Amino acid sequence: KQEVTQIPAALSVPEGENLVLNCSFTDSAIYNLQWFRQDPGKGLTSLLLIQSSQREQTSGRLNASLDKSSGRSTLYIAASQPGDSATYLCAVNQAGTALIFGKGTTLSVSS
């Protein structure tokens, strides 16, 4: 059964710092991996999707990488801002339907 783990559970950084969020999964037979942002009491905003054949995807200050063989993905946030404060969720798609989520990393960026 696929398990998704995100480390750390919480992270506090000063504004301007570059940071890396980690996601690991136990079964490397995935279809794709998606990173989301969740603000308190809100829905999930899709940030990046990486296909199983890809190594990375970039959107603005965000860069997500995927190493399928080792069961790992990272989300790199450059030059962090207070507005980046949120919970970041990683989810894997194994068979084209259900997403399996990690518990998330709660990021706090102080000004």
Partner 1 sequence: EPEVTQTPSHQVTQMGQEVILRCVPISNHLYFYWYRQILGQKVEFLVSFYNNEISEKSEIFDDQFSVERPDGSNFTLKIRSTKLEDSAMYFCASRGQGYVSQPQHFGDGTRLSIL
Residues that bind partner 1 (CB under 8 A): 31-32, 34, 36, 41-46, 49, 51, 89, 91, 93, 95-104
Closest distance to partner 1 from the beta carbon of 76 (Å): 19
Q: Tokens 């970039």 appear where?
A: 58
The distance of closest approach from Cβ of residue 104 to partner 1 in the complex, given in angstroms and rounded to an integer, is 8
Other Cβ atoms less than 10 A from the Cβ of 53: the count is: 8
Nearer to partner 1, 73 or 80 (CB): 73
13 versus 56: smaller Cβ distance to partner 1 = 56
Tokens of 45: 């905003």
Q: Decide: helix, strand or coil at residue 83.
A: helix
Measured in whole angstroms, the distance separating CA 4 from the mean position of its chain's CA atoms is 11
Cβ–Cβ < 8 Å for 91, 33? yes
> Measured from the CB atom, is 55 or 110 closer to partner 1?
55
- Smaller CB separation from partner 1, 83 or 95: 95
Q: How far is the CB of 54 from partner 1 (least distance, A)?
A: 10
Reading the block at residue 22, the tokens are 């980690």
